[in-house]
């Protein structure tokens, strides 16, 4: 017995450096969960899982050092501790803006990093240094423990790995009991991190990405038949009063950066009596009466943000649940709207004063069928007319006038604004309203940049009228994605005069403005149909008199009289005319309170099918088979 006790003491003594490192990584990961990611717990079991799940990862990651000899073991352990801390910290920085976790496809978007600049620095906080304090303590401890020599180990490396695996299996078993089908809900990264941990999540993400990459290899032309049936069943007849109403007119599409609907028709900086506030979007407010305005319109983007909105609008298909289509599938075959209008006599172009390679646009735009991309090289950009991410919106629109006039008519041209982009920087002379005074500096700065963008849009409309372009054009304007993430919920609750931002509110805050503005049109109204960016493509094509029945798209014409009111978000949440579903909970929209899940259940199959079939097209690159032999389909239908 004494021999066993002595061996155990000796083992613990020899492992104490490792134990300290494991303890530090375990605890700081848990603290990041609670204070960095703000992960909530609904019951003691969830809190226990949250607390315990970093332990198996810490033991496994740092235990790799025991497979090295005595000379290298401590050094390798230190390197692993630093690497794990950096993974944790990069996820924290990413989460502060995107309210999401890094995925493998995001790592391939590093070509964007050179343009992020102040956006990244705006996410760094002074107290982040505490994440690295344990590394310093381990370095001091390692240098002072001269008598602590690690002798060659035999069974210990495998024993340590076995302990890590057993802990993980126990963790996963409890997690599956708490959340059945946990690992089949890969679109819900919050649930996966909450239950199995950030490091195990990254391993799981690697597995998922390998599976999706294999889908193209094994896809064949028969796969598109099932998808086509699903898509055709969704087709809605267009509104006969609006079909072809804009045929032959120029189409100007404006992607309004980071604009959410909560600022429309609202003020900020009211006095003590709640009066005399500053109007945030005076021009966009006035445009509502002159347009078909959609007040229940949602962005449906994921990690790709602006690029996701571009993909949704151009293709009427969902983006990836992780990363950006622009990077992972830029070379796919697409049946995109720019190519569709180009086939019908339009000149298709994009105007965006950014580097052509940002978001891999130079490659993707060719796949979408654009004739021309007017990138930063088409503009005069210098320090005096730039702020934040680049060329100011007023200067961008002004310089774009001549580019518009250089194009053959009719044209389809998309504009992507820049100024209202995180971290919402603005020169003093461009601040038409004051910054707000909420705890969130990001929200405070958001209001003046939104007001500036509103001014820039008004300026653009005035210039188009002066140049004689306005009357022969139609305008499609929409917010591309959220600007204020859930990390600023405390300040958002104060602004909205709510006690807190609930999951219901979070989804409702994903509403973005959507305008169809047709000069001279007299049927303008506020349309409250539940809709999203995926519906823009069939809407525009029908306005131009272009038939869409044989196209592959998952949206429906916003003006269709019999359209089904359902919008699906990329994370699996969805909204109908009466109910809202998110994070496993069904809400009654009228009361904004939780209700029986059975009210939302009838939509589950539709949501899963739309997301699944859209992914199938993307991952399998199925549109390369678009002109497949329809005789094969007829034979299949005959057999059935």
Q: Please tell me what DSSP assigns to residue 619.
A: H
In which residue are the tokens 């003020």 written? 267
- Under the banding of pLDDT at 50, 70 and 90, the label for residue 118 is low
Q: Is 417 helix (H, G, I), strand (E, B) or coil?
A: coil
pLDDT at 215: 73
pLDDT at 385: 92
Q: Which domains does the chain have, with CATH numbers?
A: 2-215 (no CATH), 238-604 (3.40.720.10)
Q: Is the pLDDT score of 394 beyond 80? A: yes
Q: Which ranges of 179-222 does DSSP label H, i.e. alpha helix?
A: 189-196, 198-218
pLDDT, one tens digit per residue, over 151-209 is 545 677 888 888 888 988 888 888 887 776 676 554 567 778 888 889 988 888 777 66
Q: Choose the catalytic residue: 212, 301, 306, 328.
A: 306
326 within 8 A of 563, measured Cβ to Cβ: no
Q: Is 203 helix (H, G, I), strand (E, B) or coil?
A: helix
Most confident of 54-68, 111-125, 149-163, 283-297: 283-297
Beta strands in 318-395 (DSSP E): 347-351, 372-374, 386-387, 390-391
496 within 8 A of 262, measured Cβ to Cβ: yes
Beta strand pairing status for 297-298 and 531-532? parallel
pLDDT at 6: 52
**Model-level pTM?**
0.76
pLDDT at 635: 42
Q: For residue 89, what are its two tokens?
A: 């910290």
105 within 8 A of 205, measured Cβ to Cβ: no
* Class of residue 237 by CB neighbours under 10 A (exposed 0-12, middle 13-18, buried 19+): middle
117 versus 489: the higher-pLDDT residue is 489
301 in active site: no
pLDDT, one tens digit per residue, over 288-325 is 999 999 999 999 999 888 999 999 999 999 998 877 88
217 versus 290: the higher-pLDDT residue is 290
Q: Percentage of the chain surpassing pLDDT 90?
A: 56
pLDDT at 597: 95
Q: Percentage of the chain surpassing pLDDT 70?
A: 89
């Amino acid at each position: 017995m004494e021999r066993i006790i002595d061996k155990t003491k000796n083992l613990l003594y020899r492992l104490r450096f490792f134990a300290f490192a494991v303890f530090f990584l375990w605890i700081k990961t848990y603290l990041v969960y609670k204070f960095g990611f703000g992960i909530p717990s609904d019951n003691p079991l969830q809190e226990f899982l949250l607390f315990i799940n970093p332990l198996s990862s810490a033991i496994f990651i740092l235990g790799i050092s025991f497979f090295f000899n005595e000379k290298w073991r401590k050094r390798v352990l230190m390197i692993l501790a630093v690497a794990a801390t950096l993974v944790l910290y990069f996820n924290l920085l990413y989460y502060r803006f995107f309210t999401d976790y890094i995925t493998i496809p995001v790592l391939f978007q590093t070509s964007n990093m050179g343009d992020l600049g102040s956006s990244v620095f705006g996410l760094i906080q002074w107290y982040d240094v505490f994440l690295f304090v344990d590394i310093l303590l381990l370095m001091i401890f390692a240098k002072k423990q001269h008598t602590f020599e690690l002798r060659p180990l035999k069974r210990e490396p495998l024993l340590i790995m076995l302990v890590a695996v057993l802990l993980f299996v126990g963790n996963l078993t409890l997690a599956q009991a708490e959340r059945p089908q946990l690992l089949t809900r890969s679109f819900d990264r919050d649930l996966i991190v909450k239950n199995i941990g950030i490091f195990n999540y990254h391993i799981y993400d690697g597995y998922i990405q390998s599976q999706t990459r294999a889908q193209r290899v094994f896809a064949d032309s028969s796969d598109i038949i099932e998808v086509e049936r699903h898509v055709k069943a969704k087709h809605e007849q267009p509104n006969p009063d609006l079909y072809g109403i804009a045929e032959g007119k120029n189409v100007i599409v404006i992607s309004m950066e980071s604009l959410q609907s909560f600022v429309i028709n609202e003020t900020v900086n009211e006095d003590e009596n709640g009066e005399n506030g500053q109007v945030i979007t005076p021009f966009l407010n006035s445009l509502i009466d002159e347009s078909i305005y959609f007040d229940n319109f949602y962005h449906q983007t994921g990690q790709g943000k602006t690029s996701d909105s571009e993909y949704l609008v151009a293709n009427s298909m969902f983006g990836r649940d992780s990363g950006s289509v622009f990077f992972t599938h830029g070379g796919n075959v697409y049946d995109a709207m720019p190519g569709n209008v180009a086939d019908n006599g339009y000149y298709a172009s994009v105007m965006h004063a950014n580097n052509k390679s940002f978001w891999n646009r130079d490659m993707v735009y060719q796949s979408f069928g654009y004739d021309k991309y007017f990138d930063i090289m088409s503009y005069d950009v210098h320090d005096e007319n730039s702020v934040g991410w680049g060329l100011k919106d007023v200067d961008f629109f002004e310089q774009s006038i001549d580019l518009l006039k250089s194009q053959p008519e009719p044209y389809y041209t998309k504009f992507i604004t820049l100024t209202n982009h995180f971290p919402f920087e603005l020169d003093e002379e461009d601040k038409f309203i004051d910054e707000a005074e909420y705890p969130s500096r990001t929200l405070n700065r958001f209001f003046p940049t939104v007001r500036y963008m509103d001014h820039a849009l008004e300026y653009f409309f005035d210039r188009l009228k002066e140049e004689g372009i306005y009357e022969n054009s139609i305008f499609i304007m929409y917010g591309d994605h959220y600007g204020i993430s859930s990390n600023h919920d405390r300040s958002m609750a104060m602004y909205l005069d709510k006690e807190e931002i609930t999951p219901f509110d979070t989804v409702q805050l994903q509403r973005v403005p959507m305008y169809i503005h047709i000069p001279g049109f007299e049927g303008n109204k506020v349309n409250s149909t539940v809709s999203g960016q995926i519906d823009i493509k069939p809407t525009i094509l029908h306005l131009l008199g272009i038939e869409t029945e044989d196209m592959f798209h998952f949206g429906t014409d916003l003006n269709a009289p019999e359209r089904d009111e359902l919008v699906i978000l990329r994370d699996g949440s969805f909204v109908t005319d009466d109910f809202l579903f998110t994070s496993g909970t069904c809400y009654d929209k009228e009361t904004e309170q939780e209700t029986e899940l059975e009210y939302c259940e009838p939509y589950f199959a539709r949501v899963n099918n739309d997301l699944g079939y859209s992914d199938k097209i993307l991952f399998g690159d199925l549109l390369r088979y678009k002109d497949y032999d329809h005789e094969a389909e007829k034979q299949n239908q005959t057999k059935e």
